[in-house]
Amino acid sequence: MNVLIIHAHPEPQSFTAALREQALRTLQAQGHSVQVSDLYAMNWNPVASAGDFATRDNPDYLVYALEQRLGVKNGSLADDIRQELDKLLWADLLILNFPLYWFSVPAILKGWIDRVLVSGICYGGKRFYDQGGLVGKKALVTVTLGGREHMFGEGAIHGPLEDMLRPLLRGTLAYVGLDVLPPYVAWHVPYITAEAREQFLVGYHRRLEQLDQDSPLVFPRLEQFDEALYPIG
Amino acid sequence: MNVLIIHAHPEPQSFTAALREQALRTLQAQGHSVQVSDLYAMNWNPVASAGDFATRDNPDYLVYALEQRLGVKNGSLADDIRQELDKLLWADLLILNFPLYWFSVPAILKGWIDRVLVSGICYGGKRFYDQGGLVGKKALVTVTLGGREHMFGEGAIHGPLEDMLRPLLRGTLAYVGLDVLPPYVAWHVPYITAEAREQFLVGYHRRLEQLDQDSPLVFPRLEQFDEALYPIG
């Protein structure tokens, strides 16, 4: 299996980085090939802009998704986008490894999503959800956060974590056709002991060793909707 | 009323920019004071990093929220953050004006949230939701998107838009104590006629004129939870 880990944490010694290293070790020991994009170390540019295209279909008015489609065809996508896109297309499993910022991904990772998941390859027209451009690949979200586990779930103060992660799990990863595995969550990280952190690393190791037994989350399938995308029945 | 509009669109002539101008005109005509932060025009840096602090409590290991708290106290926050924070504290109403990217905010706007909503002022400890640091202010999300209205809602292919916006509406804006008004949504924007766009501008004008009649969305209150944030009863 080819695995791409997208890592987004501003502190190189962070526990989130330890999870990245754990994934690298565990997956390589299983014989998988692993590439890591360390967005902070790469000084990744997260801002989608006109500068992302060497040539433009319409130089006077930017419609970003349209220029992506053209850029895919004529090779005018910026080099940094093309390099990440090549890694993504190479990968069978995409791991997003990050600390939760405002119940979501850090901006530098949002900008990887905004710029790399290009229209024309990853989605476009009726190619989304189970018809998405990346069908056949898997995705795993590995997230560290400050909150405690009991603050999430039905009736809990923040509600279910998967509801907070909905635009990422459903609106992004499932949208482009990926099989989205249940997230791996390390709770309360800034406040716990070294032993508790070690337990999360051990749990992550075990989880990664048995990843092929995970059932993906369930999302809509296009066959449940008509041509205009109204629900059928 | 003091109003801060955070605008995030890469195309200066976009319909999203027309909505920004509509808000500016409408609110000023009502006698309100309005400031606009045009994140693309400002070349806003969205990446939270160690560089955001002139001095650090711990120069060897970055815990971003801890350094924010110190930075607030000792004035070591980066100038660009401090300037936006001052505008935010000045404002009675915050408007986020953006095109939906991956069912969420563009990365440049996520980075405004990550960097400007500093711990120690906007939230921290038990100061969140109805006890958040920005209690008494309002927030309005004004969003343009490509999808049609029937693609959102219960049973629709993407589910309710407010569920997709949950990390923003609840996890961010309500979290810091803002009264979050129902979003203003312009649907299917890239594909509609000039007349249809005009209707959205007219609708926005009317909405803004009657903003004081809007009921905010309902979110958890801390009194519903005990000291450890378990639900009461």
Query: Is the model's pLDDT at B233 over the cut of 90?
Result: no
Supply the pLDDT for residue A179.
98
- Residues of chain B positioned with their CB less than 8 A from the CB of A220: 157-158
Q: Which residues of A14-53 are buried (b: 16+ CB within 10 A; e: fewer)?
A: bbbbbbbebbbebbeeeebebebbbbbeeebbbbbbeebb
Query: Phi and psi (nearest 5°) for A43?
Result: 55, 45
Kindly state whether residue B95 falls inside one of the protein's structural domains.
yes
Q: What is the pLDDT of residue A219?
A: 96
Q: What token pair was written down for A54?
A: 């060497």
Check which CATH number belongs to the domain holding A24 and give it. 3.40.50.360
Token pair for B52: 């955001």
As for how many domains chain B has, the answer is 1
- Using CA atoms, how far residue B17 sits from B21, B23, B111, in Å, is 6, 10, 19
pLDDT, tens only, A122-161: 999 899 999 999 999 999 999 999 999 999 999 999 999 9
Contact A108, A6 (CB under 8 A): no
pLDDT (0 to 100) of residue B177: 98
Instruction: Look over chain A and give the mean of its residue pLDDT values, rounded to a whole number.
Output: 97
Which residues in A lie closer than 8 A to residue B47 (C-beta atoms)?
Answer: 10, 40, 46, 107-108
Measured distance CA(B57)–CA(B52) in Å, rounded: 13
Domain containing A175 equals: 2-224
Residue-wise pLDDT tens digits, B44-82 = 999 999 999 999 999 999 999 999 999 999 999 999 999
Task: Give the model's pLDDT for residue A125.
Answer: 86
d(C-alpha A10, C-alpha A14), whole Å: 8
Altogether, the residues listed in chain B come to a count of 233
* DSSP reduced 3-state for A57: coil
Q: Is the pLDDT of residue A233 over 90?
A: no
Residue at B232 is within a domain:
no
Q: Do B48 and A158 touch (CB under 8 A)?
A: no
ipTM: 0.98
Distance, CA of B147 to CA of B152 (rounded, Å): 8
A24 near A34, Cβ under 8 Å? yes
Residues of A in contact with B159 (CB under 8 A): 166, 170
Task: Point out the residue among A11, A157, A171 whose CB comes nearest to the CB of B102.
Answer: A171
> What does the pLDDT look like over A20-30, one tens digit per residue?
999 999 999 99
Residue B25 reports pLDDT greater than 80: yes
- How far is Cα B169 from Cα B139, in angstroms, rounded to an integer? 9
Q: Residue range B155-171: average pLDDT? A: 97
Q: Do B231 and A48 touch (CB under 8 A)?
A: no
Q: Do B150 and A230 touch (CB under 8 A)?
A: yes
Q: How far apart are the first and last CA of chain A?
A: 39
Q: In this complex, do B62 and A11 lie within 8 Å of one another by their Cβ atoms?
A: yes
Contacts of A174 in chain B (CB under 8 A): none
Give the closest residue to A98 by CA, choosing from A44, A135, A136, A155: A44
The span from the CA of B208 to the CA of B211, in Å, is 5
In chain B, what residues touch A150 (CB-CB under 8 Å)?
228-230
% of chain B surpassing 90 pLDDT: 99
Question: Are the Cβ atoms of B46 and A47 closer than 8 angstroms?
Answer: yes
Tell me whether residues A172 and B10 touch, CB distance under 8 A. Answer: no
Q: What is the mean pLDDT of residues A24-44?
A: 98
Backbone angles phi, psi at B33, to 5 degrees: -95, 135
Q: Is the pLDDT of residue B22 over 80?
A: yes
- Domain for residue A177, yes or no? yes
Given CA atoms A121, A127, A132, A136 in this order, what sign does their dihedral have? negative
pLDDT at residue B192, rounded to an integer: 97
Residue B165 lies in a domain: yes
A47 → closest Cβ in B105, B108, B222: B108
Residue B233 maps to a domain: no
Residue A55 covered by a domain? yes
Q: CA distances (Å), B41 to each of A113, B45, B135, in order?
A: 22, 11, 30
Tell how strand A93-99 and strand A138-144 pair up: parallel
- What are the tens digits of pLDDT across the range A152-175? 999 999 999 999 999 999 999 999
- Dist CA B169 CA B155 (whole Å): 21
Which token pair is A40?
């902070």
Averaged pLDDT score across all residues of chain B: 97
Q: pLDDT per residue over A97-110, tens digit each? A: 999 999 999 999 99
The burial of A62, by beta-carbon neighbours within 10 Å (0-12 exposed, 13-18 middle, 19 or more buried), is given as buried
What local confidence, expressed as pLDDT, does residue B125 receive? 86
Measured distance CA(A114)–CA(A172) in Å, rounded = 10
Considering the domain boundaries, does residue A229 fall inside one?
Answer: no
Residue A127 counted as domain residue? yes
Residue A221 C-alpha, separation from nearest chain B C-alpha, in angstroms: 8
